[in-house]
Chain A
Amino acid sequence: MTAPTTPTTAYLVTGVSPLGGEPTDLLLADGVIAAVGADAAAAAKDRDGDDLVVVDGTGLIALPGLVDLHTHLREPGREDAETILTGTRSAAAGGFTAVHAMANTSPVADTAGVVEQVWRLGRDAGYADVIPVGAVTVGLGGERLAELGAMADSAARVRVFSDDGKCVHDPVLMRRALEYTKAFDGVVAQHAQEPRLTEGSQMHEGTVSAEIGLAGWPAVAEEAIIARDVLLAEHVGGRLHVQHLSTAGSVEIVRWAKERGIDVTAEATPHHLLLTDELARSYDPVYKVNPPLRTAEDVAAVRAGLADGTIDVVATDHAPHALQDKDCEWSAAAFGMTGLETALSVVQQVMVDSGLFTWADVARVLSVEPARIGGLADHGRPLEAGEPATIVLYDPAARRTVAPAEHHSRSRNSPYAGLELPGRVRWTFLRGRPTVADGELAPVAGA
C-alpha cells in the first residue's frame, strides 16, 4: 500500500512532543521519519534541492497516525450517506491514517471482488489507507461462511472478518469462523447481540426505557454472546475481537477471559465512553445507536476497563446516515452516529484530561493496538528514525464547539453537536504526505 509517488517535499517539525514527551524536532522526508532530535535540523539543511516546509510544532503532540478498527464508509451502496472519499477525508481530519471499512455495504463485502474494489477506491482517494473488513457469512445472512480465504488472499489482504450490524449468533458458525481464520491469522470481530433478546429493541433496557416507552435492549443480550464467544475461543484457539463493548458486565467477562489467557481483544467507542441513555429522553434519533448508549455506571466501567487494559482499543463505529434517516421519529430512524472527527477529542477529555491516560496510552489504544489487531505492518509504529512518516500532530490546548455542518463526513449525525470538546488535529501525515495541513484538509494525489 505505498503511495503512487514518493513525496518530494520534506517537513521539519520543530519543538513537537512525541507522545506528549520532551519537545524535539522531527524531519519527515521520503515517506519516513528521516531524523529525530538534533539531527533533524541538520539533516534538513543537507537536503539540497528539496522543498522544505518548517512546521512549528510548539505545543503540539505527535502521535502515530490513528487507526480505526471500526468504520462504516457506506460505499458501495449508500453513497448518499458517505463515500470512501468523503469518509477518508473525515478520517484524515480526525487524525486517522487507516480505517477498517465494515462489510455491511450493498453489495456486502463478502467476496474478493468487493473487498478489492473497496481497497482500490481507498487507494484512489488517498486520504487514508482503507482496510476492508470481510463479512463472516454470505450476505451477512448468518447461515454459511463467506469465502474468507479468498478475501485474505486478495489484493486487499483481509485479516479482520465481521458481520457487524448483525451478530454471528449461531454457535456452530461462530466456532467454525474462529477455527477457519487461524489458517491466515485472521480475527473474528463480533457484534455481540443476541437476536432474540433484542427483537425490536430501540435503546438500553432500564429505568429510562421503562419510563419513555422505547423497547429495551438488555445488557445481557451483549454479555451472553461475549461469554459464549470467549469460551468458544478458548476451546478452539481462534482469535476473537469484541466490537463496541458497552456494558459493565461485558468488561467483567473480558477481564476474566484475559486472566484465563484467552486470545481476546476488545474495543470501546468514544460515545460509550461519554454519553448515557438519559439522552434518549429527547427522542432525538441522533442518540440512537447500536449497541445503545448505556447507564452512567456502564460508562464508568468502560472507562475503567480501558484504563486497566481490559479494553484494548478505542474504535469509532463511525456510522454516517443520510439526513432523512435521522430526521424522523425514533423508532423509524437508523442506528448509528458519526465519530471519526471527534474521537481523539473525546478520548482526550474522558481519559487524558481526567488523568487516567498518558498520551502514550492514547497512541496505544488509537494506533498501536488497532494496527496490531488488524495486522497492519506500517501503522502504529514508534516515532523513531526510519519508521513511516505516518503521524498526527495534535493541539491538546485548543477548544472547539462541535458543529457537524463543518465536518468532512457527508453525514451530519454527530451526537456531540453543540458540545465543547478539547483538542484539534493540526497535521496528519500519511507516509510523509500531509492529508491535513495546518488544520485544513490538504489536496492529495489521486483525490
Chain B
Amino acid sequence: MKHLLDARDLTRDEAVSLLDTAEAMAQTQSRQIKKLPALRGLTVVNLFFEDSTRTRISFEAAAKRLSADVINFSAKGSSVSKGESLKDTAQTLRAIGADAVVVRHSASGAPHRLAHAGWIDTPVVNAGDGTHQHPTQALLDAFTLRRHLSDGQGDLAGRHVVIVGDVLHSRVARSNVELLHTLGARVTLVAPPTLLPVGVEEWTCDTSFDLDATIAGDAAAGAPDAVMMLRVQRERMNGGFFPSELEYSRRYGLDSGRLARLESVSPHAIVMHPGPMNRGLEISAEAADSPRSTVVEQVSNGVSVRMAVLYTVLAGHAGTSQEELP
C-alpha cells in the first residue's frame, strides 16, 4: 500500500490486515512505555489545510508513538494563506525531507492530486478531503465495531450499521459505506432527503428517511447492531436543508426515547459518533453518555488505527525495519 486515499482502495484482506495491525498496536498502548521504535528516523508531515485539532493530534500521537519525527503544517498563518499553491507547499515539504504526508484539505480530491499529479513521490495519507473521503475514520469505526460485534477479529459479515445525518456533505459516511461494505456489513443511511446526494441509489447500502422505522428493525437488514450519528455542521443549518434545528432533532436526533427503543430491539447495539458532537441536536446527552456510547473509545482507537496506517505505508521504505513490528 503506497498511499491511503480512499476506503474503496482497500480489499477485504487488506482492511482486515490493517485492523489486525491496529489491534497489535493497541496492545502496546496499554503498556507504561507506549513508544515503539518502528519509524525511527522517518519524518511524517501533517499537512492540514483545514482546521481539525482532533484528527491532527491523533495522527501526531500515532507517529510519535512509532518514533517518527513529526512536522505540523497548518494553513493558518502559513504561506498558504498568502496564495502559495498546494503543489508548491507539497514540494517544499518534500524538499525538507518528509517521508510521508498526512493531508487534510477542504477540496475533495486534493490528496489524490498530491499522490498522482507527479508533484511528489511521497506516500500520502488522506486525513479527510472535502466531502469525499476520510478513510482512517472509517478504519477506526470498523475497528470499534469489530471489537464490540466480532470479538476484535476478522470482518463484519452480517452486521447492520445505521448511519444517520448529513450524508450529502459527509466524508465519514462515504468512507464508512465503502469500508463496511467491503467488510461484509450491511449499511442503512438515514437522513432527510435534502441531505442525501443525488446518485446515492448507486451506493452499496440502503437508504431511509425514517429513523424510527429503521431503529425498530423494519429495514431488510433488520435491527441495527450499531447506530452512528453524524455531526450536523453549523453552516448546513442556515442552508435551507431542513426547516429548523428543532425539527431536525425531533425527526433525526438520537434522543432518550429512541435510545430506549434501540436497547429493547437490540440489547448489544452500540452508539457511535465521529465527534465533535452537537449535544441536543443530533444526539442527546443521555445517548452520548450512555454505556453503549463508544465516542471516547473511538478516539483512542483512532490512534491505534493511524499507527497501523503509518506503519503500513512507510514499511518497506528506507529506514524502516520490519522486525521492529510489535
Interface string of B143-181 (1 = CB under 8 A from A): 000000000000000000000000000010010000000
Within 8 A of A (CB), among B167-206: 171, 174, 197-200, 202-203
B132 at the interface (CB under 8 A from A): yes
Chain A residues whose C-beta falls within 8 Å of the C-beta of B203 in the assembled complex: 210-211
CB of B113 within 8 A of CB of A213, answer no
CB of A216 within 8 A of CB of B109, answer no
Partner of B199, one of A206, A284, A327, A329: A206
Partner of A330, one of B109, B131, B202: B109
Q: How far is A332 from B107 in the complex, measured between Cα atoms in Å?
A: 8
Q: How far is A324 from B117 in the complex, measured between Cα atoms in Å?
A: 13
Would A327 and B108 be within 8 Å (CB), given that A205-B199, A206-B198 are in contact?
Answer: no
Of the candidates B85, B108, B198, the one having the most CB atoms from chain A within 10 angstroms of its own CB is: B108
A-B contact count (CB 8 A): 78
Number of interface residues of B (CB under 8 A): 26
Of the candidates B133, B197, B200, the one having the most CB atoms from chain A within 10 angstroms of its own CB is: B197
CB of A283 within 8 A of CB of B112, answer yes
Chain B residues whose C-beta falls within 8 Å of the C-beta of A327 in the assembled complex: 85, 87, 117
Of the candidates A213, A215, A282, A331, the one having the most CB atoms from chain B within 10 angstroms of its own CB is: A213
CB of B87 within 8 A of CB of A214, answer no
Of the candidates B107, B131, B171, B202, the one having the most CB atoms from chain A within 10 angstroms of its own CB is: B107
A209 at the interface (CB under 8 A from B): yes
A218 at the interface (CB under 8 A from B): yes
Q: How far is A214 from B129 in the complex, measured between Cα atoms in Å?
A: 10
Number of interface residues of A (CB under 8 A): 24
Within 8 A of A (CB), among B93-117: 105-110, 112-113, 116-117
CB of B113 within 8 A of CB of A329, answer yes
A6 at the interface (CB under 8 A from B): no
B86 at the interface (CB under 8 A from A): yes
Q: How far is A424 from B85 in the complex, measured between Cα atoms in Å?
A: 38
What is the minimal beta-carbon distance from B240 to any residue of chain A, in angstroms? 11
A208 at the interface (CB under 8 A from B): yes
Chain A residues whose C-beta falls within 8 Å of the C-beta of B110 in the assembled complex: 329-330
What is the minimal beta-carbon distance from B114 to any residue of chain A, in angstroms? 9
Chain A residues whose C-beta falls within 8 Å of the C-beta of B197 in the assembled complex: 209-210, 216
CB of B108 within 8 A of CB of A214, answer yes
Interface string of B109-137 (1 = CB under 8 A from A): 11011001100000000000111110000
CB of A211 within 8 A of CB of B174, answer yes
Which residue of A is nearest B85, CB measured? A328
Could you pull out 25 A-B pairs where Cβ atoms are within 8 angstroms?
A: A205-B199, A207-B199, A208-B199, A210-B198, A211-B199, A211-B202, A212-B132, A213-B108, A213-B109, A214-B131, A216-B197, A218-B198, A282-B116, A283-B109, A283-B113, A283-B116, A284-B117, A324-B85, A328-B113, A329-B86, A329-B107, A329-B110, A330-B109, A331-B108, A331-B109
Interface residues of chain B, those whose CB is within 8 Å of chain A, are: 85-87, 105-110, 112-113, 116-117, 129-133, 171, 174, 197-200, 202-203
